[in-house]
Chain A
């Protein structure tokens, strides 16, 4: 069976510090991978998505970047955090294969507080 791991679960970082959030998927190959930020009252905002190694689509220009160094690994990074980067970050994956009707599976999320 497939599983998705996202860590850490919570993180408190000072303004100006770097960030690295990691997401890995097990039990499948070549998944589509996604990073979202969920803010209270604002739903799920798509930040980045990737359909393959080294292929990253950025949806919102901001202080964050994403990388996919391995097939089932997706990393969200920042060189210098801002207060506005605080939020709940979710990683998700979907199957590939030419059909886009399959569901997304979500990690447990990371609560990031920038102080």
Chain B
């Protein structure tokens, strides 16, 4: 069946550090891949997405590339800010519209 595995947190970084949050998936067919973010006290919102192999999603300085050969969609940012502190969720949506999420990774950025 479909599944999403992402690195466990918490991830603690200093401001301006480089961020990588790993995400791998298992799916039949060609799912779409997403990163959602949940800021403290707020609901989930879409951060970025990619709908086919080799697509790169980007938003707010974050990037992730759909790698079919490694079934991965790792989230990266070159220089994190305190305001990036949040929980990040990797997700996939299959052709049957099943939408599943990883366990979430808490990112804490210290000034």
Contact = CB atoms under 8 A, between A and B. Distances in A.
**How would you classify the secondary structure of chain B's contact residues: helix, strand, loop or mixed?**
strand
Size band of the interface chain B makes with A: 20 to 34
Interface string A89-106: 010101010001101101
Interface in B63-99: 89, 91, 93-99
B93 A43 contact: no
B100 interface: yes
Contacts of A49: 97-99
Nearest to B55: A101
A73 interface: no
Nearest to B87: A43
B50 to A, nearest CB: 8
Nearest to B44: A106
Nearest to A57: B98
Given A94-B93, A103-B34, A109-B43, A46 B49 contact: no
B17 interface: no
Interface of B: 31-32, 34, 36, 43-46, 49, 51, 89, 91, 93-104
16 contacts: A34-B99, A42-B103, A43-B89, A43-B101, A43-B104, A46-B98, A49-B97, A90-B43, A92-B99, A94-B99, A96-B97, A101-B32, A103-B34, A104-B36, A104-B99, A106-B44
